[in-house]
């Protein structure tokens, strides 16, 4: 441990926190500096007290792991962004932070995972449906930025003795994480096997693509982003953490994430697309649309009239939504290239002064972007319900966090998979505009599905891969 993390000082902080509480039953938050500890590899140590796990791996930027639930909220409906913001504000305002001088990376955070649609389709309504929004104040939070790290524990206290117990638990966990005899490295399973459904995903997806192109070519829609799901029956259990460890190397420009509700239910991926970040009142969002073919280093993409037009539709829509909120967005004149593993995209960063808007108010205005739905938005969303024979769930929806200062980051949950018991669902989509070709879109979706499939090293039986194999690094 670094700085001055003596146990006596920790007890004194817990005592001050108890005295500073504003209600008889409140949340006390304690933190300790803890350097040189990787949250990704140490998440299993935090997860002993409950099934909930969260990972946000933006390394070399902010990386943090969380486990257990101190307070939580699940809800549905059209006011979900507003109610999630209210829950976050109220929860963090009532929390007593006994380590108020901790750096930004160590602030207490409310974790958020939205579904794509605010309500599930009628055909999918059941107790297994993904909530429209899940919000969690975690019990444990382990963060790292650069070489500097912090461990935080949140707990409900009703008497002073519980404040001391919280300090003792935090101290003990810190000792466990620093134990040189503790080996938290993953052992990669060599026997991961899976078989796809008997009917290849291309056969089901092709008719939807053809209908979507008809809608675009006849002018009913300007853009439609159709998704496809590849379901894999796993023959052995799959832990997503080793997958995310590999993705850290393979998808360094993306943000790896995990939302695990139980041992049998885990949503994970590596998102290249920022819905928004809010830091000290400054907003940033990204337009990411247009994908190079496998043989293009990006130069053809930059010159492609079809891809530039698709990209500009997204940029224009995002800037218009921000203008509608009274903001003055700024953008570069021309898009840049963004490489994420084998995939190269057109990318335009968009910034603005938030002018007092909360992060989830802005997220409500931006979601869904045309990069994951289409234009016009309402009509595109209705067609997605018709043409996609599955429920999107968390796919292409916001996932991220809000901290006690109001800073936040939300990613668009793409390049992702969802494990339910022994079934792994991989989901990816392609944007259709005038000039799109069915065969090209099939190839693009195959590349996106392979972001996870290639890391898993699955041996699938029902279909050939659409991508060339590249060695793992």
Residues labelled as active-site residues: 223, 273
- How far apart CA 468 and CA 194 sit, in angstroms, is 20
Helix (H) or strand (E) holding 196: strand 194-196
**Are 184 and 42 in contact, with CB atoms under 8 Å apart?**
yes
Residue for token digits 């065969």?
Answer: 439
Helix (H) or strand (E) holding 163: helix 160-178
Q: Is 406 left (phi over 0), alpha (psi -120 to 50) or beta?
A: left
**Burial letters for 162-178: b for 16+ Cβ neighbours within 10 Å, e otherwise?**
ebbebbebbbebbeebe
Instruction: Read off φ and ψ for residue 261, nearest 5 degrees.
Output: -85, -30
Closest CA to 201 of 425, 469, 393: 425
Contacts of 436 (CB under 8 A, 6+ apart): 213, 216, 306, 430
State both tokens at 256: 């790896």
- How far apart CA 209 and CA 213 sit, in angstroms, is 6
């Amino acid at each position: 441990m670094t700085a001055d993390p003596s146990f006596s000082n920790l007890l004194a902080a817990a005592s001050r926190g108890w005295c500073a509480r504003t209600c008889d039953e409140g949340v006390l938050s304690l933190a300790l500096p803890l350097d040189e500890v990787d949250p990704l590899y140490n998440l299993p140590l935090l997860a002993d007290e409950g099934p909930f796990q969260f990972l946000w791996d933006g390394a070399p930027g902010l990386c943090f792991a969380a486990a257990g639930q101190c307070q939580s909220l699940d809800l549905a409906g059209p006011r979900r962004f507003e109610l999630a913001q209210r829950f976050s504000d109220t929860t963090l305002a009532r929390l007593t932070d006994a380590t108020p001088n901790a750096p930004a990376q160590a602030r207490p955070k409310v974790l958020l995972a939205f579904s794509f649609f605010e309500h599930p389709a009628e055909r999918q309504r059941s107790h297994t449906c993904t909530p429209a929004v899940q919000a969690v104040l975690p019990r444990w939070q382990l963060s790292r930025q650069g070489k500097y790290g912090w461990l935080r524990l949140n707990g409900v206290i009703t008497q002073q003795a519980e404040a001391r117990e919280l300090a003792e638990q935090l101290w003990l966990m810190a000792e466990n994480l620093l134990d040189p005899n503790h080996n938290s490295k993953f052992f990669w399973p060599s026997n991961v096997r899976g078989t796809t459904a008997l009917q290849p995903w291309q056969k089901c997806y092709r008719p939807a693509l053809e209908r979507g192109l008809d809608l675009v070519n006849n002018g009913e829609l300007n853009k439609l982003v159709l998704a496809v799901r590849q379901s894999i029956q796993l023959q052995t259990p799959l832990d997503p953490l080793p997958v995310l460890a590999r993705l850290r190397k393979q998808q360094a420009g993306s943000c790896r994430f995990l939302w695990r509700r139980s041992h049998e239910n885990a949503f994970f991926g590596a998102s290249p697309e920022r819905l928004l970040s809010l830091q000290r009142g400054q907003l940033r969002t990204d337009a990411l649309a247009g994908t190079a073919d496998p043989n293009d280093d990006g130069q053809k993409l930059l010159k492609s009239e079809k891809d530039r037009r698709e990209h500009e539709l997204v940029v224009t829509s995002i800037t218009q939504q921000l203008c509608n909120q009274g903001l003055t967005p700024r953008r570069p004149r021309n898009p840049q290239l963004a490489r994420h593993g084998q995939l190269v995209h057109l990318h335009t960063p968009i910034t603005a002064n938030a002018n007092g808007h909360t992060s989830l108010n802005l997220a409500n205005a931006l979601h869904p972007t045309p990069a994951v739905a289409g234009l016009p938005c309402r009509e595109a969303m209705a067609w997605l319900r018709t043409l996609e024979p599955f429920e999107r769930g968390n796919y292409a929806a916001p996932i991220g966090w809000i901290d006690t200062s109001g800073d936040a980051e939300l990613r668009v949950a793409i390049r992702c998979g969802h494990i339910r018991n022994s079934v792994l669902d991989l989901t990816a989509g392609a944007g259709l505009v005038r000039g799109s070709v069915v065969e090209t879109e099939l190839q693009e979706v195959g590349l996106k599905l392979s972001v996870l499939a290639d890391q898993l090293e699955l041996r699938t039986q029902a279909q050939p891969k659409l991508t060339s194999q590249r060695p793992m690094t």
